[in-house]
Every structure is written in structure tokens, then in C-alpha cells.
Amino acid sequence: MDTPNGDGINDTFALAYVLLKLTRPATAFLTIYDLSGRRVRHIASGPIFSGQRVQIWDGLSEDRRLVLPGLYLWSLRIEADSGVVERQGAVGVAY
């Protein structure tokens, strides 16, 4: 549960993953959607290399405002030398 209220506890959603055996740098995209499918935030990182990685969402929308409390969907897309991998999940936001 993400609680972006500035108290320093669970203020961000951290999605950890591991990239193995890359021969070239990859690019990762974390996209947050509301339940209607509207994109709330798109976070790109790159270039990244093999090893442990973390994508962070701070509970803010594209215009840097706190999102409303509720359930949000996330999609992690990694474009690597071996192809594209996507994973999805959900994260709750509460104040």
C-alpha cells in the first residue's frame, strides 16, 4: 500500500525486479493507470544493465499532484535485447 502523505512511511511504491544476462542496455517503463484505464503516470528509466533494479512511483500524477486514494494498476514494460517483457499488477493508495 502506497501512502504518499509525507510521513516518511510507505510514501512510494517500489517495484523491484532483476535483469539477467543482458548483452546491451535495456529500457524500463513503469506506467500507472486508474481503474478506468486512463494513464495516470508514465516513468521511464534507461539505459539499465543486468542486476537488481527498482522502479519508484511517488503517488503523483503526470501533473505532479497527489492521486486520489484508491486502487491503481501498474504495468512494467522492459525492452531488452531478447525482446519485450511486460508484467502487471495493482497498488493501493491511501492517505
Distance CA(57)–CA(83), nearest Å, equals: 24
Distances (CA, A) of 13 to 20, 37, 51, 60: 23, 19, 20, 11
Per-residue pLDDT tens digits for 46-95: 789 999 999 999 999 999 999 999 999 999 999 988 899 999 999 999 87
Distance CA(62)–CA(74), nearest Å, equals: 14
Q: Which residues contact 14 (CB under 8 A, 6 or more apart)?
A: 54, 55, 56
Please give the pLDDT value at position 2: 67
Indicate if the pLDDT at residue 21 is higher than 90: no
